A and B are shown apart, each in its own frame.
Chain A
Amino acid sequence: MREATFLILTALADRPRHGYGIIQEVTVLSGGRVTLLPGTLYTALDRLAAQGLVELDNEEVIDGRLRRYYRLCVNGRTELAHQSERLRQLASAADSRLRTPRPSLA
């Protein structure tokens, strides 16, 4: 799973968000490293919806502006947990190797 996709799922983990909200949250979660553009975001949402990981929550019009909110599906929550565990194992393995003393070179 690409980092941007993982971050989108993470952004939706706590509550539904609209497009701009997802972009903002992804930027915060990545410490500014990942900046989604609208085209990228909606392509990712289309793919995640086709995979059954996200779905439309509701839509509203505020001050004449359409806001559509997306939420994580049950499958999306499961997949996010699975990816999170995978990354945790990889990070743990890397930390373990980094802590292992290196044999000095003769």
Chain B
Amino acid sequence: MHRWLLLSYPRDYRRERGAEILETVRDIAPVRSRLRVAANLVGHGLRARLGRPSSRSVGVWASIFAMACGLFAASFGTWLAWLGSRPLDHNELVAAVGQLYPDQSPSHIDMDDPPAVFIIYGSPLSWSSVSDLLLGDGGEYSLAGIGASFDHLPADSRPNSLAQLQQRLQAAGWDYSEPVYSNAYDCIPDDPRCDPASIPSDITVYAQRGDNILEIDINAVGTTPVMSLAMTRATPWEAYPAGVVAFLLGTLGGWWLFGWASRRAERSHPVAEGLAKFLYGFAMLLWWAPIILGVPQVVSHHLGEPHYRWHPLWEWLGQPALSLLFLLGCAMLTLAIGLAALPRRQPADQTLAHD
């Protein structure tokens, strides 16, 4: 049974010491829990993959890299799941608007379905949008939506329009949130000229029915249109298992890759090894800085207003807004791996196991 557990060890290590380890496992089998022994072998095999047996920190560096790989892989996995989601249907928007406001005609309603699940400046992602993606406008890459708008309030005032909207949403089977008020601007509370009651504000209500999400805005007085509705898709259920599986695979893959490079670099020329370490460190800075900066902002945003859909995972990682940093990090890691792959010098000393 335990032979397959040695797969967590590097191949050369297994070849050199596998038989010895298995004999020891066989010796202690009568007095030790098989589960404990198995977990112990897997854990230490993963450590052995990193090489550098006397290093206390290599596990930390490997974890940082593996975790980042897992998160980016999970983003990719959820993105793939999103691509397979049910396309938006403008007919459903028409039906929803007609059900909520049968006595009114919208001034505008989208009659075409979006060209893709995610769009950037209204178009699917393509080579022509790469420069937008990499050079500061990556945040424009977002979930596609379809919309409608009204030039007149359905009721005689904004509060009445809001109350009517909430009643009609409930009657039509929509689950809706508490309204969110967004001021057009803020003023200093202690300033005598500040009158919060006079500040124009938008009112936003979020609603969900099935896999459709509606965002209804009753806009500030003097704004055109006075009311707008946007329909988007809820997160497909496949995104969750896809994200988890991709995270696990990405983490394991990252650990494997780091281990391979670490063992190779350990026996490379000191200059090459030092340069590889520098490139790795800088790459991790480029990868993790957007995450560390982005997560608190997204958390704050999520806590600040109701959401029927989590923001896509890549937005939590600061992508694609900071995709240029991610790509630069990839380039540095590629160089580091290249340095690790250089021909190695022969070890001068005897070790118990070597690659």
Contact = CB atoms under 8 A, between A and B. Distances in A.
A56 B349 CA distance: 13
B162 to A, nearest CB: 63
A20 B24 contact: yes
B193 interface: no
Given A43-B47, A46-B352, A50-B351, A20 B28 contact: yes
Interface in B13-52: 17, 19-21, 23-25, 27-28, 32, 36-37, 40-45, 47-48, 52
A65 B19 CA distance: 8
A23 B25 CA distance: 11
Given A43-B48, A65-B23, A23 B28 contact: yes
A104 B32 CA distance: 49
A40 B40 contact: yes
A37 B19 contact: no
B45 to A, nearest CB: 7
A39 B54 contact: no
Given A37-B40, A50-B351, A43 B28 contact: no
Interface in B274-304: none
A40 B40 CA distance: 7
Interface in A22-54: 23, 35, 37-43, 45-47, 49-51
A66 B19 contact: yes
A79 interface: no
Given A23-B28, A45-B352, A50-B53, A39 B23 contact: no
Nearest to B33: A37
Given A19-B23, A39-B40, A46 B28 contact: no
Interface string B143-159: 00000000000000000
Contacts of A20: 23-24, 27-28
Contact of B41 (A39, A47, A66): A39
Contacts of B52: 50
Contact of B37 (A38, A55, A56): A38
A62 to B, nearest CB: 10
A42 B351 contact: no
B57 interface: no
A23 B54 contact: no
Given A49-B53, A66-B20, 9 more contacts: A19-B20, A19-B23, A23-B28, A39-B43, A42-B17, A43-B48, A49-B352, A51-B54, A56-B352
Interface of B: 17, 19-21, 23-25, 27-28, 32, 36-37, 40-45, 47-48, 52-54, 350-353
When A and B form their complex, which 6 residue pairs have the shortest distance between CB atoms, in order from nearest?
A39-B44, A46-B53, A20-B27, A39-B40, A19-B24, A37-B40
